[in-house]
Amino acid sequence: MANYEVHEYDVLVVGAGGAGLRAAIEASSMGVTVGLVCKSLLGKAHTVMAEGGVAAALANVDEQDGWETHFCDTMNGGKMMNNWRMAQLHAQEAPDRVRELERWGAVFDRTKDGKILQRAFGGHKWKRLCHVGDRTGLEMIRTLQDRGVHQGITVYMECAITRLLKDGNKVSGAFGYFREDGRYVLFKAKAIVLATGGVGKSFPVTSNSWEYTGDGHALAYDAGAQLIDMEFVQFHPTGMVWPPGVRGILVTEGVRGEGGILRNSKGERFMFKYLPEATRNDYAETEEEAKIWVDAAIRGEKTQARRPPELSTRDNVARSIYLEVKAGRGSPHGGVFLDISYQDPDRVKKKLPSMYHQFKELADVDITQQPMEVGPTMHYIMGGVRVDADTAESQVPGLFAAGEVSGGMHGGNRLGGNSLSDLIVFGRRAGAGAAEYAKKHTAAPSIVDDQIKAAIDEMEAPFNRKDGKNPYELQRKMHEIMSTYVGIFREENDLKKGISLLEALKEEIKQVSISGTKTYNPGWHMCRDLRNMIICSEAIARSALSRTESRGAHSRLDYTETDPEQQKSNTAIFQDGDSMKLEKTPTPVMPEELKKLFVKKEPANA
């Protein structure tokens, strides 16, 4: 058997984005030993790319705001599929978590009276997103990274976990390799927190990076945990569409938050006509009213005017853009126009500096002078590991999950800004949950040699297969399948076809091979990543097939209506022998006092 190095911690955190860092900080502050592993260099996780802001009802700008409204917005945005307890904890704790970041050195933009400034975002009733221009994620990750480093957390960079090891039904460790030289590593741990982010690389057009191969989803699935809500994949309405090389790169919702207007090729401001009946009243009725709202927002003043229709929820805006393009009213490169050029150029550059540079440098477009071309891009997965709301523990003892890899918090559709807040609220809870667990289970974890051998064999196999399949070619095949059959609009026949193609692809993936050495060999890494991607792709397709309605981010052409009955169950995916099983489990039912929040004064919010 090949050599491997061994490390031992009370708590091992897999992933160093916002969720993983916050979990590691919490666990280490509780006096247990903590190791932190990440596939990239520290500080490069997806969290660094977050732009628009972190949602927290601080009520610094709109004093009417409070956790109750944030809670209702989140549940309404999620089409009531959310785990209500997670949404409640999230809304209640986000303000403290944001203040804590400030205490740790984050420097948010300020209001006129020196408090943390907040901006509007889709589906949020009040101005709620704390931000730093359009680089909020960078601020968050740097702050947490420095905090963690000074607490003495050991970080293993460019190290990928490929297996969770178990002792009976409990987790006992994790196995992986270092990208740099391919050496193997075993982490013995009493508790493990998964904070690996999302699954975007299953799709060709995405705002996600190479890291998003759904590793945590697949690791948890392999270890016996359930994945819930996997049909809910968020297509962000505004990705870049031109030039081809940048297709999918995100255009922050902050552009619309700052007053950006969507128009089709006829110059029509089409979002007015796509507002769902239930929420029409929350949005401006005319361009004039929308303008009054934007002008007041710019001056930092109050107004009776309602927010512009562009601030509808992401699922709705993405679908609307798709339909406009389909109807032949798209922009030259198959998107629509997003325009902020009517505003003062200096303000645009100040509020959206990285968007300004991104378009100027990558697309030769000056956003202070011309509109941008935008279209939907795969952005986020609401589905993930089923966890207990309070402790973030999965159904596998000792295995915790937080951040994008976990499921339940966002239900059928995530509101912008609710991810960064999710990371710090549930990152902290997962860290605490894991530390408590490790303190209770004092026995050293025991490792089964067979499991290590299997993990090593799996990694060695691609080198030993001669003339197997090229990993990049297989990824392109997966992209083709997912974009053709499991895209933004779905249909029974397509999904069935997609699933059968994915099954065939699964067999091909078993034949993947690579040459060369283990030294920083991305092709070799991809060989392993493919397995995670195919698990997630299949879970998404099967879950989508099982939900015979349209709800939130899940849109069916053959079932266009929302079916109140289907709100009552979440879709759960789990492993049964060699095959993937699906089960409907009851959606957690809100207690009466929370239900009252909805009937009182909160209009449904779409």
Partner 1 sequence: MREAVMKVFRGTDSGSGEFKTYKVPIEEGMVVLDAIHYIQGYLDPELAVRWNCKAAKCGSCSAEVNGHPALMCKSRMDHFPEGQEITVEPIKTFPLVKDLVTDVSWNYEVNKKIPAFKPSENADWTFMQEDIERVQEFRKCIECFLCQNVCHVLRDHDRKDVFYGPRFFVRMAGLEMHPLDTENRAGILKDQAGLGYCNITKCCTEVCPEEIHITDNAIIPLKERVVDEFYDPVAKLFKTIFGKKK
Ligand X SMILES: Cc1cc2nc3c(=O)[nH]c(=O)nc-3n(C[C@H](O)[C@H](O)[C@H](O)COP(=O)(O)OP(=O)(O)OC[C@H]3O[C@@H](n4cnc5c(N)ncnc54)[C@H](O)[C@@H]3O)c2cc1C
Exposure string over 211-240, b if 16+ CB within 10 A, otherwise e: bbbbbbbbbbbbbbbbbbbbbbbbbbbbbb
Stretch that binds partner 1, among 196-204, 466-474, 491-499, 583-591 (CB under 8 A): 466-474
Does the footprint of partner 1 cover residue 147 (CB under 8 A)?
A: yes
Does the footprint of ligand X cover residue 197 (CB under 6 A)?
A: yes
- Give the x/- contact pattern for ligand X in 376-415, rule: CB under 6 A: ----x----------------------xxx----------
Of partner 1, ligand X, none, which one does residue 312 interact with (CB within 5 to 8 Å by kind)? none
Does the footprint of partner 1 cover residue 472 (CB under 8 A)?
A: yes
Does the footprint of partner 1 cover residue 211 (CB under 8 A)?
A: yes
Does the footprint of ligand X cover residue 257 (CB under 6 A)?
A: no
Choice from 6, 245, 484, 560 touching partner 1 (CB under 8 A)? 245
CB distance 295 to 323 below 8 Å: no
- Tokens 């929820």 correspond to 313
Number of residues that bind partner 1 (CB under 8 A): 64
Does the footprint of ligand X cover residue 139 (CB under 6 A)?
A: no
**Nearest residue (CB) to partner 1, 246 versus 594:** 246
Of partner 1, ligand X, none, which one does residue 14 interact with (CB within 5 to 8 Å by kind)? ligand X
Catalytic residue at 217?
no
- Tokens 């090229």 correspond to 470
Interatomic CA distance for residues 128 and 130, integer angstroms: 6
- Tokens 């690996």 correspond to 196
Is the bond leading into 243 cis (omega within 30 degrees of zero)?
yes
Does the footprint of ligand X cover residue 363 (CB under 6 A)?
A: no
Does the footprint of partner 1 cover residue 370 (CB under 8 A)?
A: no
- Tokens 């700052």 correspond to 258
Of ligand X, partner 1, none, which one does residue 242 interact with (CB within 5 to 8 Å by kind)? partner 1
Interface residues for partner 1 in 344-363 (CB under 8 A)?
354, 357-358, 361-363
Catalytic residue at 299?
no
Q: Residues with Cβ < 8 Å from 113, sequence gap 6 or more?
A: none
Does the footprint of partner 1 cover residue 42 (CB under 8 A)?
A: yes
Stretch that binds ligand X, among 205-213, 302-310, 330-338, 557-565 (CB under 6 A): 205-213
Of ligand X, partner 1, none, which one does residue 404 interact with (CB within 5 to 8 Å by kind)? ligand X
Does the footprint of partner 1 cover residue 43 (CB under 8 A)?
A: yes
Stretch that binds partner 1, among 30-38, 99-107, 257-265, 437-445 (CB under 8 A): 99-107
Nearest distance in Å: CB 272, ligand X: 25
CB distance 339 to 260 below 8 Å: yes
Choice from 11, 12, 13, 14 touching ligand X (CB under 6 A)? 14
Interatomic CA distance for residues 19 and 36, integer angstroms: 12
What's the distance, CA 304 to chain centroid? 34
Phi-psi group of 79: left, alpha or beta (phi > 0 → left; psi -120 to 50 → alpha; rest → beta): left
Of ligand X, partner 1, none, which one does residue 564 interact with (CB within 5 to 8 Å by kind)? none
Q: Report helix, strand and coil shares of the chain as percent, to nearest 5.
A: 40, 20, 40
Residue 466 is encoded by which pair of tokens? 């001669």
**Nearest residue (CB) to partner 1, 516 versus 564:** 516
Of partner 1, ligand X, none, which one does residue 476 interact with (CB within 5 to 8 Å by kind)? partner 1
Count of residues making up the chain: 606
Of partner 1, ligand X, none, which one does residue 549 interact with (CB within 5 to 8 Å by kind)? none
Nearest distance in Å: CB 129, partner 1: 17
Measured on CA atoms in the order 157, 160, 163, 164, is the torsion positive or negative? positive
Residue 589 is encoded by which pair of tokens? 């039912």
* C-alpha to C-alpha distances, 312 to 80, 100, 204, 376, 449, nearest whole angstrom: 17, 30, 26, 15, 53
3-state secondary structure of 379: strand
**Nearest residue (CB) to ligand X, 32 versus 161:** 161
Q: Residues with Cβ < 8 Å from 423, sequence gap 6 or more?
A: 17, 18, 19, 22, 47, 140, 402, 403
Choice among 22, 163, 236, 490 that is catalytic? 236
3-state secondary structure of 583: strand
Residue 584 is encoded by which pair of tokens? 């409907």
Strand runs labelled E in 510-559: 555-556
**Nearest residue (CB) to partner 1, 201 versus 319:** 201
What's the distance, CA 181 to chain centroid? 30
CB distance 162 to 530 below 8 Å: no
Choice among 90, 119, 256, 556 that is catalytic? 256
Of partner 1, ligand X, none, which one does residue 335 interact with (CB within 5 to 8 Å by kind)? none
Nearest distance in Å: CB 111, partner 1: 8
Helices 67-77 & 592-599 angle (0-180, nearest 10) = 80
Residues annotated catalytic, as ranges = 236, 256
Residues of the shown chain interacting with partner 1 in the complex, contacts defined by CB under 8 A: 40-46, 48-49, 99, 102-105, 107, 109-110, 113-115, 132-133, 135, 138-139, 142, 146-147, 149-150, 155, 157, 180, 209-211, 242-246, 249-250, 354, 357-358, 361-364, 470-472, 476, 514-516, 519-524, 526
Residues of the shown chain interacting with ligand X in the complex, contacts defined by CB under 6 A: 14-20, 37-40, 45-47, 49-54, 136-137, 160-161, 195-197, 207-208, 211, 215-216, 250, 380, 403-405, 416-420, 423
